[in-house]
Amino acid sequence: MLTSNILKGVTKGFPLKIKAVKVENVSVDYNRDFVARILQRIEYGALQSAVKDLGLNESLPETMSDAMQQDDEFLKLMHKVLLEYEIEEGELICPETGRKFPISKGIPNMLLQETEVS
Amino acid sequence: MKLKELESHLSNVENFSNAKEYLEQYMTTPHLAARMIYTAQTQYEDIENNLLIDLGIGTGMLSIASCLLNADHVFGFDCDPDALKLCQSNIEEFELESNIDLIQADLRRIRLPIDLQRIKADTIIMNPPFGTKPFSIANEDQDEFCLGGIDMHFLQHARQIAQHSIYSLHKTSTRDHIYKKAKDWNMKMDVLAVLQFDIAKLEKKRPNRKTTTTANSAPLKAIEVDLIRFEIKDNMDS
């Protein structure tokens, strides 16, 4: 899930829509400092879209305030959403062009075809 | 963790069984990787609690070394599915699945599929191809691919996504050129060490190695390689 927050499409195309075929739940040790640090870098709106795309049963607050970034409950939720959902199979879809990038064994394939160079 | 301990852990990283010559795949040795990442941490504190990107991750050696020294997270890029598969298995061996995320992308391209506005890694780690081998991309669009100076191309990518510093390896013979580029790209450059790189020997270990016909590859025994740290000067957006 974390990865989906940094990738984009051929030109702009962010955030990529996620179509998940197989999602794995993994258990990761909670590291409060790490989550707090990473939250400063992610695009919260994109994460919300990703959660929606996956149809996860997690309710994310509408906005993320500074105070929330100190809140343990919220950080634990972020930890879970960012690190404990692994998309094993599926695809990322560019919102602008509709170009699909397959995800196989957890690795998104962002290789482009010759015809796609801009 | 001590340096020797780090190196010893890294000796468990599995090497390429069938390295691809046109991609200049060869493993960063445990010895080299340990020194590179250990120096980055102990002298500059560029690893622990940092977000890293590994360009041309290969076996995962540098990323795994970084995670053993408590890097926050690594995004690793490589174009080769076989390398990514091997890398994934190495990551699993070290139980670092939640620390390293892999992305398949071609770094020879001009653009990276990363949102440069949004993500800046603190530190970039890489052992780029040196551009001594021709690329087998004859039919590709020349504007889109970088044909020569592939290591400089990697460095340019790194420059765009690095917030703070870049650790990379380059041929000592190209040092002057790199100094010039570093200056152009507004980076401070320090050569931390000069290392002997026995590429010929590494290549001999490859089981299916074909005999090369390229003229300049014949007498190549050991080449000198600089371990370089680049520091980004303008941090306008931080």
ipTM over 0.90: no
**What's the pLDDT tens digit per position in B68-95?**
999 999 999 999 999 999 999 999 999 9
Q: Do A110 and B101 touch (CB under 8 A)?
A: no
Note whether residue B238 is domain-resident: no
Task: Tell me how far apart the alpha carbons of residues B216 and A111 are, in angstroms, rounded to a whole number.
Answer: 31
Note whether residue B65 is domain-resident: yes
Pick the residue of B97, B99, B103, B108 with the most A CBs within 10 A to test the interface with A by mutation. B103
Note whether residue B87 is domain-resident: yes
- Would you state the pLDDT for residue B217? 45
The answer to whether residue B121 scores a pLDDT higher than 80 is yes
The answer to whether residue B208 scores a pLDDT higher than 60 is no
* Alpha-carbon distance A100 to nearest alpha carbon in chain B (angstroms): 13
Note whether residue A75 is domain-resident: yes
Share of chain A above pLDDT 70, in %: 87
Q: Do B104 and A110 touch (CB under 8 A)?
A: yes
Q: What is the extent of the structural domain holding A50?
A: 17-107
Q: Which of A86, A80, A46, A2 is nearest to B73 (CA)?
A: A2
**Residue of chain A whose Cα is closest to the Cα of B141:** A114
Note whether residue B120 is domain-resident: yes
Note whether residue A21 is domain-resident: yes
Task: Tell me how far apart the alpha carbons of residues B121 and B63 are, in angstroms, rounded to a whole number.
Answer: 13
H helical segments located in A19-117: 32-39, 44-54, 72-83
- Would you state the pLDDT for residue B83? 95
The answer to whether residue A113 scores a pLDDT higher than 70 is no
Note whether residue A53 is domain-resident: yes
Note whether residue A83 is domain-resident: yes
Assign A12 a pLDDT band (cuts: 50, 70, 90). low
The answer to whether residue B52 scores a pLDDT higher than 90 is yes
Assign A2 a pLDDT band (cuts: 50, 70, 90). confident
Number of domains in chain A: 1
Q: What is the extent of the structural domain holding B206?
A: 3-232
The mean pLDDT value of chain A amounts to 85
Element (H, E) at B88: helix B81-93
**Residue of chain A whose Cα is closest to the Cα of B140:** A114
Mean pLDDT of B159-188: 93
* Alpha-carbon distance A96 to nearest alpha carbon in chain B (angstroms): 14
Residue B224 contacts by C-beta under 8 Å, 6 or more apart in sequence?
B171, B172, B173, B194, B195, B196, B197
Mean pLDDT of B160-169: 93
The answer to whether residue B110 scores a pLDDT higher than 80 is no
The answer to whether residue B175 scores a pLDDT higher than 60 is yes
**What's the CATH number where B151 sits?**
3.40.50.150
Could you say which of B49, B118, B144 has the minimum Cβ distance to residue A43?
Answer: B118
- Would you state the pLDDT for residue B148? 58
Note whether residue B119 is domain-resident: yes
* Alpha-carbon distance A61 to nearest alpha carbon in chain B (angstroms): 21
Note whether residue B12 is domain-resident: yes
Task: Tell me how far apart the alpha carbons of residues A91 and B223 are, in angstroms, rounded to a whole number.
Answer: 42
Q: Can you give the pTM of this predicted structure?
A: 0.86
- Would you state the pLDDT for residue A9? 57
Note whether residue A52 is domain-resident: yes
Q: Would an 8 Å CB–CB cutoff place A23 in contact with chain B? A: no
Q: Would an 8 Å CB–CB cutoff place A112 in contact with chain B? A: yes
Assign B213 a pLDDT band (cuts: 50, 70, 90). very low
**What's the pLDDT tens digit per position in A39-87?**
888 888 888 988 999 888 888 999 998 899 899 999 999 999 999 999 9
Number of domains in chain B: 1
Assign B237 a pLDDT band (cuts: 50, 70, 90). very low
**What's the CATH number where A65 sits?**
2.20.25.10
Could you say which of B97, B105, B120 has the minimum Cβ distance to residue A110?
Answer: B105
DSSP string, B193-219: EEEEE-HHHHHHT-TTPPPP--GGGSS
Higher pLDDT, A13 or B80: B80
Note whether residue A92 is domain-resident: yes
The answer to whether residue A97 scores a pLDDT higher than 70 is yes
The mean pLDDT value of chain B amounts to 83
Note whether residue A43 is domain-resident: yes
